[in-house]
Amino acid sequence: MMPTRWVSPLQFMVITVNAMVGTSLLVLPRSVAETAKQDLWLAVLLASVLIAVSFRIAAALAARFPGQTAIEYHRILLGNFLGNLLSIAMLALMLAVAAQLIRISRIAVKIFLLDQTPSQVIVLAFLLLAVYAAQSGLGPVIRVQQFLLLFAHSAFVFLVLLGLLEIETEHYTPLLAEGVMPVLAGSLECWSAYSGPELLIGLLYPFLLRRGSVVRFGLAGIGAVTVLFVLIAGITLGILGPEETAHLLIPTIMAYRAIEIPDTFIERIDGYLIIVWIAVCFTSLVNWLYFGGFAAARLLRLENARPVMVLLVPVLAYLVTAPPDFYSVVIVGKWINYAGLTWGLGVLPLLLALAWRRKAG
């Protein structure tokens, strides 16, 4: 299906922000704290530079094929078979990200809100919402994100900022005690938190308006998300300290559980945070489902992506339940991270080089 509407740079920025801000809000500090310890906020900051570079490469690549999506120019660059294989890999990566998103939200909702409800209900509820939005086309998908960004995300940021009340500065010291290497390693760990814009621009580029400013808006989106991630990672670290952050299941929420201003509603901020976060998580999921379905439809050379999006629901529901326990979810998360890293800093530059050579030759 061709999205009938042209996407403005601003809308692209919204998509970028929402695709990035997903479950990483909850688990980002843990995976990074394992390696970067008290410098985890630095690692998160550094990772944004990596994603910006990768996004820039993806944008340059997409600009070489202004009328085609990634699925088509993979075929052009690598031939039908290899190109399709690469596209399938990309689709698999996107679906894995979506499944991981639902799985972690299932865990979070089950722990903090609905401890007795069967977890399948939560998964189906999420998928139903996402498919309802994705079915209606790109216009509504973008609008619902913008609408929620205005209300839910702003409430979320407000709640996040409340965390500043409770941080203890000694958790940030000593700065760079073990040199720069742990920070670098840590920044690679949080790739999947930022992953999104470098995949989506390849699919969206033909439908973008005013392409000259798209990179600027995309980078602005990355910048906004970086601020949010650094805040969250820094606050979690500041409240819990590096050891606890590394060992807790979902450190962000646990950190906010500690915040308390007696005799106000700010006694139970973790509960509110997770409730608002449901909306934030939904905006991310709807992007992955919509563009996953879109990519799959392009891959199969189908005009209409709607049935594909519906068919993705059982696939995702299966993928969500595939890892048996939380430990394996963490392992899968690591694999997704490495896959995303390979794509963003390995495959994309390679493709760009191919495109260059093709033009030169």
Nearest CA-CA partner of 247 in 26, 34, 42, 25: 34
Is residue 69 within 8 Å of 203, Cβ to Cβ?
yes
First to last CA, the chain: 34
Least Cβ distance, residue 175 to other proteins (angstroms): 37
**For residues 12 and 191, which CB has a smaller minimum distance to other proteins in the complex?**
12
- Is residue 321 a contact point for other proteins (CB under 8 A)? no
Give me the 90-129 binding string for other proteins, x by CB under 8 A, dash otherwise.
Answer: -------------------x---xx--x---xx--x---x
Give the interface segment with other proteins, choosing from 130-138, 232-240, 317-325, 347-355 (CB under 8 A). 130-138
15 phi and psi angles, rounded to 5 deg: -60, -45
Specify the 3-state DSSP secondary structure of 5.
coil
Angle formed by the axes of helices 70-78 and 269-299, to 10°? 50
Is residue 175 within 8 Å of 39, Cβ to Cβ?
yes
- Is residue 271 a contact point for other proteins (CB under 8 A)? yes
Q: If you search the block for the tokens 């089950």, which residue do you land on? A: 110
Encoded tokens for 76: 């052009």
Give the interface segment with other proteins, choosing from 25-33, 78-86, 224-232, 258-266 (CB under 8 A). 258-266
- The residue from 2, 79, 120, 147 that contacts other proteins (CB under 8 A) is 147
Encoded tokens for 305: 């992506």
Give me the 276-305 binding string for other proteins, x by CB under 8 A, dash otherwise.
Answer: --xx--x-----------------------
Is residue 197 within 8 Å of 20, Cβ to Cβ?
yes
Cα separation, 346 vs 103, in Å, equals: 27
174 phi and psi angles, rounded to 5 deg: -80, 145
- Is residue 250 a contact point for other proteins (CB under 8 A)? no
Give the interface segment with other proteins, choosing from 30-38, 44-52, 94-102, 147-155 (CB under 8 A). 147-155
7-46 binders of other proteins (CB under 8 A): 8-11
- Is residue 143 a contact point for other proteins (CB under 8 A)? yes
Footprint on this chain of other proteins (rule: CB under 8 A): 8-11, 109, 113-114, 117, 121-122, 125, 129, 132-133, 136, 139-140, 142-144, 146-148, 150, 209-210, 217, 263-265, 267-268, 271-272, 275, 278-279, 282
